[in-house]
């Protein structure tokens, strides 16, 4: 069985269901609507689920964004509100507690710039609470933010930077935003995943080795991710599978040839993929051409969703006055 | 036989050679080195060649750029010089004749922004020759430039805009720069194609319907193109072919199954491709993640190559003083 | 009397009123509110007005944008609607007539990029009306657009490019958008001027020599301008005036010194200004540091206002579906 | 005596000399040439110097860049080399010692983006030394880098972030890059200042309150700054002074009026400045229009200079291979 790595729990679930029959042991799935958007709530409850899904025990909620989100303010606001509602369910925080929002990724590389772009649209208040407390409503929660960069640009593990800053300012919650890779093009820029297990090593389209999670940082970590690319290698892999499935459908089940096709092994597939992507292999991604504009829109939607969730005492109009 | 559309003559040649044996009738091919770079000179000399290659009669020269070009000024200058040398071979122009350089593509979409980016780094002199002729060396050729945008942004055929401007300012030569799509990832950002047949409808990664050529404009048109993407549909298509070839290799030649595989028809392949790319199909491209930085470097190399070719009386240092 | 050049009619009026008493001959001024914004409507009705104001006979309408426009969607929509309402008053156009929108300025220079940025957010329909007429509502007006660049980048007079394209596609109306320079910092990014006399040579912060107007193009030209900078030379000039006024206030009126101050002549002032701005003089501008973000927001407001005005049959939601 | 704040020691010196006669007590000044560029070396040696200059005891070296630096690779390389030579004089570091380079400023605000832009062009090696030590020459120094953002975006004092990271990774040297404000337009984008006293609160055009220095961080801090703006308030102030000086020159020395002018006090001047800049006052800056392009060029020059200084064992060609 070929294991396809995916950043999305909802895709891991699909892969499992494709390769097995029946329910996934140790995993609870609930689907419902929020402001007209489909929400899929995946709970991995024990080690069985962990193993089947290739993801740690915890909650993973996926919101499917509607189609015209990027041009329509009302739809964008609705997505922000659905995100805020979802966040509120898994964020338990007194109003005086501090949140640190972390924008993962590289601001020079468009499909990886989602995190830093969210940071630039966030309502940041910690310094106002500290420096000019009288000028600011006491119901405003202290929020701070960093964009730590990526290992290739900084030479420092991203988790190390976050840990240093968190040790110093002692937030009660960390919210990480990251650009992800999905397996399917239909999810690119259309899906938001919210999880409570942090960021695992190697997730995201950047380069992260050390886990960013409650286990390593000692503070609850909520991860918000949006797939902005499919890896070209994933696309090539899935295309090969699809081609083979098609041929198998036309072959006689149980025949000699059928069995040969079934056994096209992983090594052979990888060789094919390397051949087709040479010399880029690892770095090629599949994106819509207009990725610049789209990442910009999505970063607004995410930033607003976080602002609403972290500042329950304010309405959107008040929030806008603080946003930079 | 499935026809793969490619913007590069060198790839059309490869496709032909893969599907046929022996030389391509009506096509002359010459390979040589220029400042250490491999140059492939494809001449389509008659209608046979035109038909086999799917490209009009004319010359198509491809320069393979070396690997570390984007970080190394010396290599970048070498590529500019090789480009200038190649251009000089097919550009026949008195020193007083005016050249119009056209940057095709959309400056808001990174992989399509190559043309407009080249324009912004060009040595433009026509206005100086007209407004302050005494301040400028008489050996400087009048050069002007436009970035006409793309149909989706302007609502006007790009060729119509170019024709209007050309009719008014009456240049003796038009040089078009365009971002292309290649079939193979190994050519992305690594190949420069120079051709004397203009831009055919539907070429480029933008959206052009009317030909930009001597035939439509009445002025010689040199096209300079660099592939910045592979269409995801091309990648999927080639991946399917490769997978099938692989399976065929393992099947008994002439057997029933072998023949079935050979006949997997175009319609079936297209359905598979649509399935894998849904819902984006037409718009998805495969690029290196760092496309922003790379397009920037290449636009410098191209602009410099054009500057050197169009201003034979000046050296690079003089040129830099004029460049904006 | 020192003549201060300003792109805004409302400022020319202020300068006149400061230097003279009473009404301006040949100029009618009307002030009113539109969706809570102050609108000043200046009509220059004859040659007396033309001479006093330094601007051609015609209408100049100024909308003062409210303060928090850049962060608040509702306020931004209100400004778009006020702009659309104002445009509708001076644009007389059958629904089948074609409009050409021209984004003046340089997209590489932030404070001068307003025009091209508006173009990228416009609802462009002419190609759809021509290529796929059945797919588009018959009430949609054909709109097309170009960003012709600036003389320094193209080597071609901007008006020449516009005239070539207009001669070819024969629009019934041209709408030009341009970044302006105001005299006062309080108007920077806060004022929209709509005029029916086109763009005069030397206006704008770019470099335009040939008039863009009904006189030169044979088609009505509406100009929409927003000041994005104050020239540093203007700021220095006004600062000197203010300093001298202050000193005069402290001197005895009619005394010898009073008269000396009054006579500080233009040449002396220019020498002072050159000294303070050396070696940049012409190119220095005064802007808010956040000009990148602000120009982006304003371009959305302007594009939306034009979209509403040019497509009276559609509502904002429909428009958003077409916008690219 | 009005105190003009300036980020440049060379300007503090000029202000002092203008207001006083003779040498500045406690300050040693040396001027010489480096690769054709004028270098001014200011040493503040004791508290007298500290008081007169408004800057802490330490060394401040200023390099004047030549005029056409932004378009000419050779001149750019020369400036990088002059910077590297100057850095080498004040950086004493064994080859195995780690350097942390900090890009101060806001990457979303062009004139303030110099620091983060330098970081994106730096040769970063610490992770390679740690993760793949065998793949990298042992003479390569471990270098790491961060762009901590600005207080308004992060809600965290910049110095706090730097201190957290420095405490964790324990570098032997910190190099900070910052965009500065000069008093004179002639120094904008033309001057590099290198100092060994760190960054004082309130310096830079961003917003920093806590000192970034050996005193606060426990590690030597080298600051590299380039003025990218003049504050509009500074320009207005200096213009007023110049205007008054001019009038004074025309008045009779010692006369009543002369004395009145001399006494135009600080409060009055501030009121004038506020009036002229209303409503922006604090945030307006004076820059060349092409600031985007210029900051980009300068960031390359600075990054290269640091690369050369920190990697004495490598030549420029080797460095380019590592740069991202």
Query: Does residue A138 carry a pLDDT above 80?
Result: yes
The CATH label, of 3.40.50.1450, 3.40.50.1370, 3.40.50.150, 3.30.300.130, for the domain at D9-233+284-323 is: 3.40.50.1450
User: Are residues A272 and B235, on separate chains, in Cβ contact within 8 Å?
Assistant: no
Please state, in angstroms and as integers, the Cα–Cα distance from residue D249 to each residue in C206, C238, C253, D115, D241, following that order: 38, 21, 21, 43, 12
Q: How many residues does chain D have?
A: 324
Going by C-alpha positions, the residue among A304, A313, A317, A315 that lies closest to residue A122 is A304
Q: Which residues of C touch B151 (CB under 8 A)?
A: 127
CB pairs under 8 A between C and D: 141
Q: Is the pLDDT of residue A284 over 50?
A: yes
Given the DSSP bridges, would you call strands C173-182 and C99-103 parallel, antiparallel or unpaired? parallel
- 87-106 in chain C: CB under 8 A from chain A: none
Phi, psi of A113 (to 5 degrees): -90, 5
Q: Is the pLDDT of residue C292 over 50?
A: yes
Any A CB within 8 A of C73 CB = yes
Residue B124: which pLDDT band, with cuts at 50, 70 and 90? very high
Say if the Cβ atoms of C68 and A323 lie within 8 Å: no
The per-residue pLDDT of chain A, averaged, comes to 86
Whether the per-residue pLDDT at C2 is higher than 50: the answer is no
Residues of C in contact with A73 (CB under 8 A): 73, 77
Q: Where is pLDDT greater, at D93 or C60? A: C60
By the 10 Å C-beta count (0-12 exposed, 13-18 middle, 19+ buried), C133 is classed as exposed
Q: Which of C126, C146, C155 sits opposite B149 (nearest CB)?
A: C146
What pLDDT is stored for residue A91 in this prediction? 84
Closest residue of A to D119, CA-based?
A: A153
CB atoms within 10 A of CB D46: 11
Dump pLDDT digits (tens) for A198-255. Answer: 987 655 544 557 899 999 999 999 999 999 999 998 888 888 888 877 777 766 666 6
To the nearest whole angstrom, how far is the Cα of C40 from the nearest Cα of chain B? 32
Q: Which of B155, B165, B321 to mutate to test the interface with C (most CBs of C within 10 A)?
A: B155
pLDDT digits (tens, 9 = 90+) for B93-103: 888 899 999 99
Beta-carbon contacts of B138 under 8 Å, excluding residues fewer than 6 positions away, are none
- Check whether B2 has a pLDDT greater than 50: no
For residue A111, what is the nearest residue in chain B, using CA coordinates? B289
Chain D contact for C239 (CB, 8 A cutoff)? yes
- In percent, the amount of chain A with pLDDT more than 90 equals 52
Touching check for A186 and chain B: CB below 8 Å?
Answer: yes
Residue among D77, D314, D320 with most chain B CBs within 10 A, to mutate? D320
When comparing pLDDT for C249 and A129, which is higher?
A129
Cβ of residue C31 closer than 8 Å to a chain D Cβ: no
Q: Closest Cα of chain A to C320: distance in Å?
A: 6
CB proximity A147 to D under 8 Å:
yes
Q: Rounded CA gap, A270 and D100, in Å?
A: 40
All residues of chain B having their beta carbon less than 8 Å from the beta carbon of residue D74 are 317
**Residue B26 above 50 pLDDT?**
yes
Query: In the structure encoding, which two tokens stand for residue D129, read together?
Result: 């030394």
CA distance C22 to D268: 31
Q: To the nearest whole angstrom, how far is the Cα of C127 from the nearest Cα of chain B? A: 5
| Domain range list for chain A | 9-233+284-323, 234-281
CA distance C56 to chain B (A): 26
Which H or E element spans position C49? helix C47-53
| Segment C83-127, tens digit of pLDDT | 999 999 888 888 889 999 999 999 888 899 999 999 999 999 999
Residue of A nearest to B206 (CA): A289
What is d(CA C234, CA C231) in angstroms, rounded to the nearest whole number?
5
Whether the CB-CB separation of C94 and C312 falls below 8 Å is answered with no
Find chain C residues with C-beta within 8 A of A323's C-beta: 71
Distance CA C30, CA C82 (A): 16
Altogether, the residues listed in chain A come to a count of 324
For C294, which residue in chain A has the nearest alpha carbon?
A324
- Give the closest of B71, B74, B320 to D72, CB-based: B320
* B289/A283 Cβ within 8 A: yes
Chain C nearest-CA residue for D238: C276
Asked if D185 lies within 8 A of C280 by C-beta distance, the reply is yes
Q: Which residues of D touch C179 (CB under 8 A)?
A: none
Please name which of C116, C108, C152 lies closest in space to residue B143, comparing C-alpha atoms: C152
List of chain B residues whose C-beta atoms are within 8 Å of the C-beta of residue A186:
278-280
Q: Which of A238, A280, A292 comes nearest B185 by C-beta?
A: A280
- Rounded mean pLDDT, C140-163: 95
DSSP state of D3: P
Across the interface, whether the CB atoms of C284 and D283 are under 8 A apart is answered no
Strand C37-44, strand B37-44: pairing? unpaired
pTM (2 decimals)? 0.90
As a whole number of angstroms, the distance between CA C153 and CA B143 comes to 10
| Token pair 């330490």: residue | D58
pLDDT higher than threshold 50 for residue A150: yes
Which residues lie closer than 8 Å to D247 by C-beta, 6 or more apart?
A: C244, C247, C260, C261, C264, D261
Q: What was the pLDDT predicted at D21?
A: 80
CB-based contact, C155 to chain B, within 8 Å: yes
**According to the model, what pLDDT value does residue A3 have?**
46
Tell me whether residues D247 and C247 touch, CB distance under 8 A. Answer: yes
A72/C317 Cβ within 8 A? yes
CB nearest to B317's CB, from D72, D317, D323: D72
Find, in chain A, the residue whose alpha carbon is nearest to that of B231.
A286
Q: What is the pLDDT of residue B182?
A: 92
Per-residue pLDDT of chain D (324 residues; tens, 9 = 90+): 334 568 899 999 988 888 888 789 999 999 999 999 999 999 999 999 999 898 999 999 999 998 755 567 788 889 999 999 999 988 888 888 999 999 999 988 889 999 999 999 999 999 988 888 888 888 899 999 999 999 989 999 999 999 999 999 999 999 999 999 999 999 999 999 999 999 876 555 555 578 999 999 999 999 999 999 999 988 888 888 888 777 777 666 666 666 666 666 667 777 778 888 877 656 789 998 888 888 999 999 999 999 999 999 888 777 876 665
Does D133 touch chain A if contact means CB atoms closer than 8 Å? no
Strands D58-64 and D37-44: antiparallel
Confidence of residue C279 (pLDDT cuts 50, 70, 90): confident
Question: What's residue D132's pLDDT?
Answer: 83
Higher pLDDT, B242 or A116: A116
Choosing among D317, D318, D321, D324, which should be mutated to test the B contact, i.e. which has the most B CBs within 10 A? D317
pLDDT confidence of B3, banded at 50, 70, 90?
very low
CB neighbour list of residue B70: distance below 8 Å, 6 or more residues apart: B76, B293, B294, B297, B298
CA dist., res. C301 & res. C39, Å (int): 16
Contact C72 A320 (CB under 8 A): yes
- Pairing mode, strands B221-231 and B284-288: antiparallel
Q: What is the pLDDT of residues A75-113, one digit of tens each?
A: 888 999 999 999 998 888 888 899 999 999 998 888 999
**Are the CB atoms for B65 and B190 separated by under 8 Å?**
yes
Q: Could you tell me how many CB contacts below 8 A there are between chain A and chain D?
A: 104
Interchain contact C127–B (C-beta under 8 A):
yes
A68 touches chain C (CB under 8 A): yes
Preferred mutation among B243, B250, B251 to probe A, highest tally of A CBs within 10 A:
B243
Nearest to B320 among D71, D320, D323 (CB): D71
The pLDDT score that the predictor gives to residue A197 is 93
Q: What percent of chain A has pLDDT over 70?
A: 87
- Using a CB-CB cut-off of 8 Å, the residues of chain C touching A321 are 68, 71
Residue of D nearest to B72 (CA): D320
- Between residues A266 and D156, the one the model is more confident about: D156
Among the partner-chain residues D120, D163, D165, the one whose CB lies closest to the CB of A153 is D120
């Amino acid at each position: 069985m070929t294991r396809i790595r995916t950043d999305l729990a909802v895709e891991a679930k699909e892969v499992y269901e494709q390769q097995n029959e029946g329910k996934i042991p140790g995993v609870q799935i609930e689907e419902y609507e929020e402001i007209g958007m489909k929400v899929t709530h995946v709970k991995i409850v024990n080690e069985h689920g962990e193993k089947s899904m290739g993801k740690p025990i915890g909650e993973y909620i996926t919101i499917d964004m509607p189609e015209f989100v990027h041009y329509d303010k009302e739809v964008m606001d609705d997505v922000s509100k659905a995100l805020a509602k979802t966040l509120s369910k898994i964020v338990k925080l007194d109003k005086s507690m501090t949140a640190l929002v972390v924008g993962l990724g590289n601001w020079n590389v468009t499909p990886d710039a989602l995190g830093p772009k969210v940071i630039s649209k966030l309502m940041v208040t910690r310094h106002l609470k500290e420096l000019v407390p009288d000028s600011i409503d006491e119901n405003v929660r202290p929020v701070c933010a960093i964009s730590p960069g990526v290992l290739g640009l900084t030479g420092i593990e991203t988790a190390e930077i976050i840990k240093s800053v968190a040790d110093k300012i002692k937030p009660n919650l960390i919210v990480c935003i990251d650009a992800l890779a999905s397996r399917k093009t239909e999810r690119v820029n259309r899906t938001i995943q919210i999880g409570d297990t942090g960021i695992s090593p190697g997730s995201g389209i950047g380069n992260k080795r050390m886990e960013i999670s409650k286990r390593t940082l000692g503070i609850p970590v909520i991860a918000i991710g949006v797939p902005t690319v499919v890896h070209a290698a994933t696309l090539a892999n899935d295309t090969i599978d699809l081609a083979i499935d098609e041929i198998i459908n036309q072959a006689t089940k149980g025949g000699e040839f059928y069995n040969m096709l079934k056994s096209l092994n992983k090594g052979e597939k990888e060789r094919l993929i390397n051949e087709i992507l040479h010399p880029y292999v690892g770095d090629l991604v599949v994106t819509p051409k207009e990725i610049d504009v789209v990442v910009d829109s999505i970063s607004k939607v995410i930033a607003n969703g976080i602002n609403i969730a972290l500042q329950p005492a304010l309405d959107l109009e008040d929030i806008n006055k603080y946003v930079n």
